[in-house]
């Protein structure tokens, strides 16, 4: 079998593939046209971040069985297209955790002591001791946005520097935060108290421009801001104004909204701004680790049929997979749905299998559900292998219940989550055509196709609610793909699930919340 390595990879990684008896071709810097021509003959593809594995590339890959990403991010792979073709997509989660966390700390230290600026000054023949007066990190308050693997490790390093740590993570419980030596606070409290803010959250609709003109006003005067997570979480124009005015004492970016960074970006003209070209994962050790890991994973799958760290296919026997695949899809969608609706520190998850669903081996289905539950929180660092471990580490209790009676359906999977003193429930079923549907949300019967962007509204069952929402969406060029409704009794509480073709902005979401008889609204993506 043949493997194409289309991005730079350690020679040791290439050697692992060849030692396993695979034919390996290393062809980096291929154009899109070249890749489309080359890919047809290969069984495996090893990439980093440069190669874009689009649906067009996947369709051209007639023999492709596995895609391996040396690293964790999978923004450059069309997962849906790969899954439809039955192509296993693997990554190497955790390989960059230490490296990225250390880079964030290095950025903080560089800003606090103005090391890059002082270096440039000294190299220019100056000796400006008074100009580059720094600040100590000792006893300063570090605000961490996002306590995933990297954020957690940053907290460990910061404790060694004798810093006080406050953090915002809507999915972390107070008890688990306390065990980590972290004070969990809301975002406004973090803004008010933090001397230094470091961001370690994924880029989502909710975190897009999280740091902006409005939130900068809430920050402590003279704050330092570091972003080694994703470009686009900080509005760079607003950051520039904050730095120029002195409200923000210094900022460091390893990631930009547009990469490579535009040479005309005004941030690059400021003395109190430092940056690196997306180097968070760029250490010799990290690059070697992820190269060896992905090579071993590819070899294991192509030679021995063993799946490790797959993000789209669980580790189950090949003869079982076709039977339970629809249930895996349903479970993952249910988990993702509940995670996005019920933000807060997840404490307990109860999964109930009914009817035919209870007769299958449920362990992989539970894992798929946990992956769906955790993916909106941890993005591409969670997969079918580590989802149960991460749930345990975050203090989430997982319970399985089986019942051969499925009630109105031949099969059903239900999930109940307990989070921040609240409980939520959703159920779904696999229909005769093997299509998955969400059939119940918090006691309301629905029949929802679990895909794409959705608005989930709680509203009073009054005339005009749906019309006003439709008008508002239409006025903002948001097309409605489908709509589902459920209610207790006529005139009582109701639920509306509106499928839309594109996401709504935070501002538009707030306008929907303000409509008459709308009690709450959440935007999710499945």
Q: What is the CATH number of the domain that holds 166?
A: 3.40.50.720
pLDDT at residue number 359? 87
Number of domains into which the chain is organized: 4
Looking up tokens 């508002």 gives 472
pLDDT at residue number 28? 94
Cα separation values, 417 from 337, 413, 424, 454, 455, Å: 11, 13, 5, 20, 20
Is 268 in the same domain as 332?
A: no
Is 388 in the same domain as 444?
A: yes
Where a domain ends, among 451, 474, 492?
451
Looking up tokens 């007639």 gives 62
Is 43 in the same domain as 171?
A: no
CB 473 within 8 A of CB 481: no
Tens of pLDDT along the chain (526 residues)?
999 999 999 999 999 999 999 999 999 999 999 999 999 999 999 998 889 999 999 999 999 999 999 987 787 899 888 877 778 899 987 778 899 999 999 999 999 999 999 999 999 999 999 999 999 999 999 999 999 889 999 999 999 999 999 999 987 888 888 888 999 999 999 999 999 999 999 888 788 999 999 999 999 999 999 999 999 999 999 999 999 999 999 999 999 999 899 999 999 999 999 999 999 988 989 889 999 999 999 999 899 877 888 887 766 665 677 788 889 889 999 999 998 887 667 888 999 999 988 888 888 899 999 999 988 877 666 777 678 878 887 888 899 999 888 777 889 999 999 887 788 899 999 987 778 899 999 889 899 999 999 999 999 998 998 899 999 999 999 999 999 888 888 888 999 999 999 999 989 999 999 999 999 999 999 8
Closest CA to 186 of 171, 167, 205: 167
Query: What's 409's DSSP letter?
Result: S
Is 190 in the same domain as 268?
A: yes
Closest CA to 348 of 402, 391, 401: 391
Give SS3 for 521: strand
Domain containing 477 — which CATH number?
A: 3.30.70.260
Where a domain ends, among 247, 275, 303?
275
CA distance 300 to 304: 5
CA distance 47 to 69: 5
Domain containing 380 — which CATH number?
A: 3.30.1330.90
Is 115 in the same domain as 234?
A: yes
Is 399 in the same domain as 464?
A: no
Cα separation values, 75 from 35, 56, 177, 209, 239, Å: 18, 15, 29, 19, 25
CA distance 440 to 414: 9
Is 233 in the same domain as 325?
A: no
Cα separation values, 358 from 202, 363, 412, 416, Å: 35, 11, 8, 17
Is 428 in the same domain as 368?
A: yes
Where a domain ends, among 451, 477, 494?
451
Is 219 in the same domain as 247?
A: yes
Looking up tokens 């230290």 gives 109
Is 112 in the same domain as 230?
A: yes
Is 413 in the same domain as 494?
A: no
- Domain of residue 457 covers 452-526
Is 325 in the same domain as 228?
A: no
pLDDT at residue number 405? 80
Which residues are catalytically annotated? 230, 259, 278
CA distance 273 to 249: 9
* Rg (alpha carbons) of the chain, rounded to whole number: 25
CA distance 169 to 147: 6
């Amino acid at each position: 079998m043949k493997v194409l390595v289309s991005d730079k990879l350690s020679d040791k990684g290439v050697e692992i593939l060849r030692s396993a008896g695979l034919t390996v071709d290393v062809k980096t810097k291929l154009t899109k046209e070249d890749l489309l021509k080359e890919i047809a003959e290969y069984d495996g593809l090893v990439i980093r971040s440069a190669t874009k594995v689009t649906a067009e590339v996947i369709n051209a890959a007639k023999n492709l069985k596995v895609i391996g990403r040396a690293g964790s991010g999978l923004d450059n792979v069309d997962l849906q297209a790969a899954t439809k073709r039955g192509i296993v997509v693997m990554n190497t989660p955790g390989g960059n955790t230490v490296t990225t966390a250390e880079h964030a700390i290095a950025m903080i230290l560089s800003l606090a002591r103005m090391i890059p600026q002082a270096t440039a000054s000294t190299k220019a023949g100056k000796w400006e001791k008074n100009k580059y007066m720094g600040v100590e990190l000792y006893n300063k308050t570090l605000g961490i946005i996002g306590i995933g693997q990297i954020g957690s490790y940053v907290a460990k390093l910061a404790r060694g520097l004798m810093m006080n740590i406050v953090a915002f993570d809507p999915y972390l419980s107070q008890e688990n935060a306390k065990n980590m030596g972290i004070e969990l606070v809301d975002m406004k409290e973090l803004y008010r108290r933090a001397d230094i803010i470091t961001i370690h959250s994924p880029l989502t609709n909710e975190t897009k421009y999280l740091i902006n003109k409005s939130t900068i006003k809430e920050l402590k005067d003279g704050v330092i801001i570091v972003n080694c997570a994703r470009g686009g979480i900080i509005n760079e124009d607003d950051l520039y104004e904050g730095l120029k005015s002195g409200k923000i004492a210094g900022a460091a970016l390893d990631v930009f909204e547009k990469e490579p960074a535009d040479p005309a970006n005004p941030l690059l003209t400021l003395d109190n701004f430092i940056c690196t070209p997306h180097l968070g994962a760029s250490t010799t050790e990290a690059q070697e680790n992820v190269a060896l890991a992905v090579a071993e994973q590819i070899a294991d799958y192509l030679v021995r049929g063993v799946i490790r760290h797959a993000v789209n296919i669980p580790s189950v026997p090949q003869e079982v997979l076709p039977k339970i695949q629809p249930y895996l899809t349903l479970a993952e969608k249910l988990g993702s749905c509940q995670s996005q609706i019920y933000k807060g520190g997840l404490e307990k998850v109860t999964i109930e299998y009914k009817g035919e669903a209870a007769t299958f081996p449920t362990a992989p289905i539970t894992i798929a559900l946990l992956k769906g539950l955790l993916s909106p929180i941890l993005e591409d660092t969670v997969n079918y292998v580590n989802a149960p471990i991460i749930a345990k580490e975050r203090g989430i209790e997982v319970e399985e219940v089986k019942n051969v009676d499925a009630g109105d359906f031949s099969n059903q999977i239900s999930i109940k989550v307990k989070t921040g003193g609240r409980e939520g429930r959703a159920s779904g079923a696999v229909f005769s055509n093997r299509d998955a549907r969400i059939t119940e949300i918090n006691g309301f019967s629905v029949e929802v196709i679990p895909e794409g962007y959705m608005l989930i509204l709680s509203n009073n069952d009054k005339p005009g609610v749906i019309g006003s929402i439709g008008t508002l969406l239409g006025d903002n060029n948001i097309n409605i793909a489908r709509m589902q409704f459920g209610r207790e009794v006529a005139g009582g509480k109701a639920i509306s699930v509106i499928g839309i073709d594109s996401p709504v902005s935070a501002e538009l979401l707030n306008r929907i919340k303000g409509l008459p008889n709308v009690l709450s609204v959440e935007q999710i993506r499945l």
